[in-house]
Structure 1
Amino acid sequence: FLRGYWHDLIATQLTALAAAERLDDPGAQAQAHRALARADGRLRRFAESRAHLERSLELSALAGDPSAQAATHNNLGNLAQLQGRHREALEHSRRALDLYRGLGHRFGEAHALNSIGWQLAVLGEHAEARDRCGEALDLFLEIGYRYGEAATSDSLGYIHARLGLESEALKCYLRAREIFRDLGDRFEEADTLSRLGDLYRSIDDPAAAQDAWSRALALLDDLDHPDADGVRAKLREAAAG
């Protein structure tokens, strides 16, 4: 999944889903639907992703698994965020946080806090966003989960940039990019590089901006990802002066 083999993941999880259905195992079915939803979301197939998540939520309730329900709410929040429905995203992430805290599930709590922070940032509530992401980062560092550290560092980079703290934003983005690269998550590395380019442009460093966008584009083109078009447009605009 980290390396971007989403079509392969879909094929594998469809097989897993069929097996879980034959066994009449709602928990395993819910897990397969969540995996399918994540892959469809990365491919920007939002309707398919939402259908899988709604079914996963039903099956998780049937299985009596609040942890799976929390994970699905977090996924629904991420999907709504990708579609620009940020208030809805925030509601799902807050529901996930409540469930995770009720379970004492610190790993899930950290994920939900980062999601909440990101959504608050996009909604312009930057001070609270920084607090929530700061809590998430502390938890991820305590747990020792590097992917979470990278994801939250990326969120904090965006937040610091919006607060006019460009130096802090740069540190966060560079840290996030380094970890994503070490982990082999090419999509998230590209996503961070794209925002890093935006930051360089905002501080009037066009050469660094174009370098970051070019690196992001190479990764996205290699993944055959639709987000490549947006990065390509940034490079065209920069070249046009």
Structure 2
Amino acid sequence: MIYKRGTGDAILRLIAFAILSNTGRIITGTIFIIIGLFYGFKSHMVVYHYRDLHAYTIFTSTRSTRYSFQDQYSQNIYQAELTEFTSYFSTTDLQDATLSLVYSDIDSSTANGGNDHHILRLAITDQNGNQLKAFETFQYQQHPKSYFENDWSDAGIMLGIGGAFWLVTLLLWWSIPKVIAWQEKHHPKEFSEVQIAHFYNQQTRNPWSSSRRSNPPPDFRDLAR
């Protein structure tokens, strides 16, 4: 991707602000922590339900990759995504058949007031309940029973990155005055206020300002006392 010069400069300033300044690191760390918590709290229990369909209507999508089965009694909709199944089935397989479903709930509702359900296993049975054919999703083969979908492992990475930004900021805030005080006490001739002023400007400068001039730094001896 090609950026204009002004856009590229703004992006570089934003990155520098997020990494090199105390305020930027706090904001960046907070964003990572919020994302991590949001992702982690999405963890939930996936509960399987079971249902036999005797009278139903079949609807297919335009590309015939989704089958929707509407129960004529409850008006509930049971959806099957063919791309999620290990083997495909067609309306020919389902014609005048009794279906035994394993499904999980979907957080949505249909326009006619029924509930949507996600089919994980579809079995074709005869009138006596004997299984003739069965089609299973990859998810069902991996988890044949209800299971807990844990997102905290990925969320922990985001929380760790956010915590690292906060920790670095805290260590710098705590250690810099002590280092300055130690240098003034033990190596007063080597104490360079110019270098410290440069670091201070990096920590506090406005990342959106194109000017190279900076405000004079405060007296760091006051911070060290």
Structure 2 length-normalised TM: 0.26
Structure whose CA Rg is larger: 2
Work out which structure has the larger RCO, using CA pairs closer than 8 Å and 6 or more positions apart in sequence.
Answer: 2
Relative to its length, the structure with more helix (as a share) is: 1
Relative to its length, the structure with more strand (as a share) is: 2
